[in-house]
Amino acid sequence: MAGARERSGRSFAVDVRAIGVCVKPGERELADIVRELEKWLLDRAIEVLPDPDAGRWTRATGMLRGDLAQKVDLMVVLGGDGTLLAVARAIGSRNVPILGVNLGTLGFLAETARENLFPSLEGVLAGRFEVEERMRFDVAVTRDGEDLGRYIALNDAVVSNTALSRMVHLETRADGSEVTTYHADGLIVATPTGSTAYSLSAGGPLLLPTVETILLTPISPHTLTQRPLVLPGHCVIEIRVKDARGGEVHLTVDGQVGRELAEGDLVTVRRSPHPAHLLTPPNRNRFQVMRAKLRWGER
């Protein structure tokens, strides 16, 4: 471990000509900061391309986030971690760096404070920021060999029973080898980035976000010996629903999208070849971030 400071990224050295601006939907109080950001960028001869919500307050017409990703050199996301997760999913396989500006509460992903937006952008344009690659998952659902859906996850994929007081039985394999059958409310398959999200509240460990590992965290397991498990990042995880009585077993990806599952359905989770790219300040102290966000040492 490289001490408290991470040097896992590469310098962001790009001639920035266009920046995408994405905001948390429905937040009218963002109008002033969006207008101020647009003026700041236009004064520097940088084109501003907004998503539909930010486009309500800009000269340019808003466009879908997936289309934005094909036209910009980086994305500025104004919101919280949920907004950043949605933008990362819309970007898909494109290598577009994201600068997350935290207007929410915790902000593990959107690390830039609102008051630091413009100094941070100055640092980005000067090449002082780094691009940190974050592992993502490709998630697939199949039923009797038929493809039912594919998703990309930055935080986690969760298989759970949403019925009141009902367990789900999940046969789990890693690289074809049986791990166990979890008897629990559900199972979280988390990236290192996702270790600070749902997995943490379910008793999972904290992982530095740039390590290449996969975290399996059962939700309220019926057996106390079924504990969180950390696996190598190259493992392919297969989860088969063994009991879906009540018909309320669901797959949820990053807490935002997903589908209902039936008995026998197979959820396959593997490392995506397309990591997310987050812009971070140089010499960022990861443990200092954890102390601040999780309030370590406070009484």
**Those residues with Cβ within 8 angstroms of residue 4's Cβ, 6 or more apart along the chain or in another chain:** 285, 286, 287, 288
Other C-beta atoms within 10 Å of 161: how many?
25
User: Residue 214, class by beta-carbon neighbours within 10 Å (0-12 exposed, 13-18 middle, 19+ buried)?
Assistant: buried
Nearest residue to 163 via CA among 225, 226, 253, 243: 243
Please give the pLDDT value at position 2: 37
d(CA 235, CA 216): 12
Domains of the chain: 10-135+275-294 (3.40.50.10330), 137-271 (2.60.200.30)
Please give the pLDDT value at position 253: 98
Residue with tokens 């040492």: 297
d(CA 99, CA 116): 12
d(CA 174, CA 93): 25
d(CA 212, CA 77): 25
Which pair of structure tokens corresponds to residue 72? 């910009």
Which pair of structure tokens corresponds to residue 230? 């950390």
Query: What letter represents residue 65's amino acid?
Result: R
SS (H, E, C) 186-202: EEEEECCHHHHCHHHHC
d(CA 80, CA 108): 9
Secondary structure (3-state) at 18: strand
Nearest residue to 89 via CA among 75, 104, 103: 75
Task: Please check whether residue 113 is in contact with residue 102, taking contact to mean a CB–CB distance below 8 angstroms.
Answer: yes
Which positions are catalytic?
Answer: 81
| CA angle (259 as vertex; 232, 241 as ends), nearest 5 | 60
- CA 29 from chain centre, in angstroms, equals 25
Residue with tokens 């520097």: 44
Alpha-carbon Rg for the chain, nearest whole angstrom, is 20
In eight-state DSSP terms, residue 185 is S
d(CA 267, CA 198): 19
Successive 10-residue mean pLDDT values, the chain, 299 residues: 46 85 90 96 97 95 94 95 95 93 80 91 92 96 94 97 81 97 95 95 93 96 91 98 80 95 96 95 75 73
Please give the pLDDT value at position 109: 86
d(CA 120, CA 114): 10
Please give the pLDDT value at position 164: 67
**Nearest 10 degrees: Cα torsion 193, 198, 201, 207:** -20
Please give the pLDDT value at position 152: 97
Please give the pLDDT value at position 18: 97
Task: Please check whether residue 69 is in contact with residue 75, taking contact to mean a CB–CB distance below 8 angstroms.
Answer: yes
Please give the pLDDT value at position 53: 95
Please give the pLDDT value at position 246: 61
